[in-house]
Amino acid sequence: MADPTSTLREIGTELKPAPPGHEHGSLTAWIQDLVFTVDHKKLGFLYIGAAWLFFVLGGIMALLIRTQIAVPNNHLLDGETFNGTITMHGTTMIFFFAMMMVFGLINFIVPLQIGARDMAFPRLNAFSFWATFFGGVFLFLSYIFGPGLYGMGAAPDASWFALAPLTSRAFSPGNNIDFWSLGLLVSGVGSITGGVNVMVTIFCYRTKGMTLYRMPLFTWLSLVTMFLIIMFMPPLSAAQIMLVLERFFGAKFFEAQAGGSPVLWQHFFWIFGHPEVYILVLPAFGVISEVVPVFSRKPIFGYPMMVAATVMIGFISAGVWAHHMFTIGMDSFSVTFFAFATFVIAIPTGIKIFNWLGTMYGGKIRLEVPMLFCIAFLFQFLIAGLTGIMLGCAPFDWQLNDSYFVIAHFHYVIVGGIVFAVFSGFYYWFPKATGRMLDKRLGTWHFWVFTLGFHLTFDPQHFLGFLGMPRRIYTYQEGRGWEFLNMLSTIGAFLQAVGAILFIVNMISSARKGKIAGDDPWDAWTLEWMTSSPPPEYNFEQLPEVRSRRPLWDLKHPEDPDWKFE
């Protein structure tokens, strides 16, 4: 393996800030470059571009869903189509928006943050992307096959967690479920190989002087995320292999009539499923942990504790899975145990919130757009965590499970938490990636419209859960008390769409004529800001040596460097 510090490039010509899609050269040359690239930055762009594509597709499905249930007894989508739409919405958003976005951000940022030139295995990196992408394409092919184009094709329709025995041949005779399991098996391979790659990169390619305890928190959180990926995505793959064997070869894993147990599927799925949401949220925490200190002008409060809390979250997340199964009829001891574990995991999570608060306290908070999204994240994630505690209390969950309260809770985490963190990360790192700032005015509009839309969509859903509305129903009767709240929620969804459009417009227009950013527009402290914007292909002219957690702070404040105090 190449020695990362042995190569010293000459000071070459820097690449002009060239946003994707507008590089000089012919279109075919550009496409060829993207398809065959192994550079982590370009792969980062590919991941992120694909993620936004799937976000738009998943978002359209969300709008369809919300329109259908805005009023009772609606006829926009029938039961079967609706089930397909909710399944595709969930599967797309989780596996092909959120996972790809996570990998995209990590791909781009982590090597820069640790002072490396690329990932450990660049070709494997490219393979990971394409495998994940093809998995997504395969999933969407389901719309074309099956009963034909005039229906919604053969989209999987058993919900994103595909409960057995609904997924067995007897109850799902078409190929819908097969598109689901095979598509995800392929993308799962991509995720796992990506995970291995990032882990090796972080362990072996840190620049001189960067011990594990001097890594930026985004990198730390990515590391723990990768552990979770390689440990907990295989259970999903295993369960899907079993499902495929059952559907194609008559194997008898979950079939009740052969003595099998549908509950086993749930265990296997949720052993994957719960760590999966931590896989999605930890990188979001990473973004917040980068942005909040820079925009509060203080170092992160309690770095060692943040690391410890993250590792604890990683461990405990393996032990809470059955809180998704409180209503299945487990014995009291198991129910109590999983409620206990769920409460316990709230502690390190809460500590992180307190640490972010401690970072802001006593600082000089600049309310730039990245920070606006962070602040919204903090409030929203706080609420999400608290509704999670409510759900963790098993008896309360017996009322709220499988209701709109759960939908409200996890959308608070995924949209109010993760998507907001992604937006924050974008406004923060877009200048580094493209050399241009995202427009501040447009960004502020985006923030307020999206936040308003978000709250209008999901706050009423908590109350819908209180009023007894279950999940996954394509219609409901009048008089249940659900009409007004559903209508509010739908209006909010369209508002969010407007906010998202504003964002996409911002990205496209700023890439062309945004303000030139320079190396370090935010006066930040981690290594990625040391190189040009966008970075040259080899990342750093000379691989830097660090003596503390904030190498650029040390450079800018030689009279008061961090390494004197750490």
Partner 1 sequence: MLNHLYSRYSLATRGSGRGWLLAGFTVATFVGFLSLAPVARAQDSTIRAIQNIFDPLSAPAETLYNVSLLVMAVCGVIFLIVGGLLTYAIIRYRHRGPEDDQEEPPQVYGSAAIELAWTVPPILIVVMLVLVTARTIGEIQHHQMPAAAEEIRIIGHRFWWEVRYPKHDVVTANEIHVPLSSRTNRVPTEMILESADVIHGFWVPQLNGKTMLVPNYRNTMWIEPYATGIYLGNCTVLCGPQHANMLIRVIVDKPDVYQKWLESQKQPPVSDPQTVEGQKQFIANSCGTCHTIDGVRGANGVFAPDLTHFASRTTLGSGVAPNDEQNLRIWVQDPQRLKQGCLMPDMQLSDNQVDAIVAYLRTLK
Partner 2 sequence: MILTESSLFTIFVVAYLFYIGKSLNPPYPWQVLEFPWLGSLFLFSSSGTVVAAEHKLKKGDKAGFELWWLITALLGLAFLIYTGTEWYSLIYHDGLTLSTNLFGSTFYSLVGLHASHVLVGLILLTLILVASVTGNIKPRHHEHIEMISWYWHFVDGIWAVVVTVVYIIGMQH
In the window 174-233, what residues touch partner 2 (CB under 8 A)? 192, 195-196, 230-233
Residue 46 interface partner, choices partner 1, partner 2, none, CB cut-off 5-8 Å depending on type: none
Query: Coil, strand, or helix at residue 470?
Result: strand
- Residue among 205, 199, 219, 187 nearest 100 (CA): 187
Q: Which member of 250, 362, 395, 468 binds partner 2 (CB under 8 A)?
A: 250
Q: Which member of 468, 512, 518, 555 binds partner 1 (CB under 8 A)?
A: 468
Please say which residue, 2 or 149, places its beta carbon nearer to partner 2. Answer: 2
Q: Which member of 156, 190, 194, 235 binds partner 2 (CB under 8 A)?
A: 235
Residue 564 interface partner, choices partner 1, partner 2, none, CB cut-off 5-8 Å depending on type: none
Contact 91, 62 (CB under 8 A): no
Structure tokens at 296: 């509060």
Chain centroid to CA 475: how far?
Answer: 30
Q: Which member of 48, 437, 488, 502 binds partner 1 (CB under 8 A)?
A: 488
Q: Which member of 472, 505, 512, 542 binds partner 1 (CB under 8 A)?
A: 472
CA angle 36, 189, 49 (to 5 degrees): 50
Which residues, in sequence order, are CB contacts of 306 under 8 Å at separation 6+?
217, 220, 289, 300, 352, 355
Taking CA atoms, 32 is separated from 27, 28, 36, 46, 280, in Å, by 8, 6, 6, 13, 31
* Count of residues in contact with partner 2, rule CB under 8 A: 29
Q: Which member of 251, 305, 312, 498 binds partner 2 (CB under 8 A)?
A: 251
Distance CA 243, CA 166 (A): 11
Q: 372-398: buried (b, 16+ CB within 10 Å) or exposed (e) per residue?
A: bbbbbbbebbbbbbebbeebbebeebe
Stretches 244-252, 323-331, 487-495, 520-528: which one binds partner 2 (CB under 8 A)? 244-252
| Minimum CB distance to partner 2, residue 276 (Å) | 13
Contact 298, 287 (CB under 8 A): no
- In a 10 Å sphere around its CB, with 0-12 CB exposed, 13-18 middle and 19+ buried, how is residue 408 labelled? buried
| Minimum CB distance to partner 1, residue 427 (Å) | 17
Distance CA 427, CA 414 (A): 18
DSSP-derived letter for residue 549 is S
Contact mark string toward partner 1, 224..263, x via CB under 8 A = --------------------------------xx-xxxxx
Please say which residue, 149 or 328, places its beta carbon nearer to partner 2. Answer: 328
Please say which residue, 2 or 328, places its beta carbon nearer to partner 1. Answer: 328
Q: Which member of 297, 440, 515, 547 binds partner 1 (CB under 8 A)?
A: 297
* Residue 258 touches partner 2, criterion: CB under 8 A: yes
Q: Which member of 466, 494, 538, 563 binds partner 1 (CB under 8 A)?
A: 466
| Minimum CB distance to partner 2, residue 316 (Å) | 17
Stretches 141-149, 259-267, 338-346, 453-461: which one binds partner 2 (CB under 8 A)? 259-267
Q: Which member of 106, 119, 239, 502 binds partner 2 (CB under 8 A)?
A: 239
| Minimum CB distance to partner 2, residue 186 (Å) | 15
Contact 522, 442 (CB under 8 A): no
Give, as ranges, the residues between 298 and 317 that touch partner 1 (CB under 8 A): 298-299, 301-305
* Residue 237 touches partner 2, criterion: CB under 8 A: yes
Cβ-based neighbour number of residue 54 at 10 Å? 24
Please say which residue, 41 or 323, places its beta carbon nearer to partner 1. Answer: 323
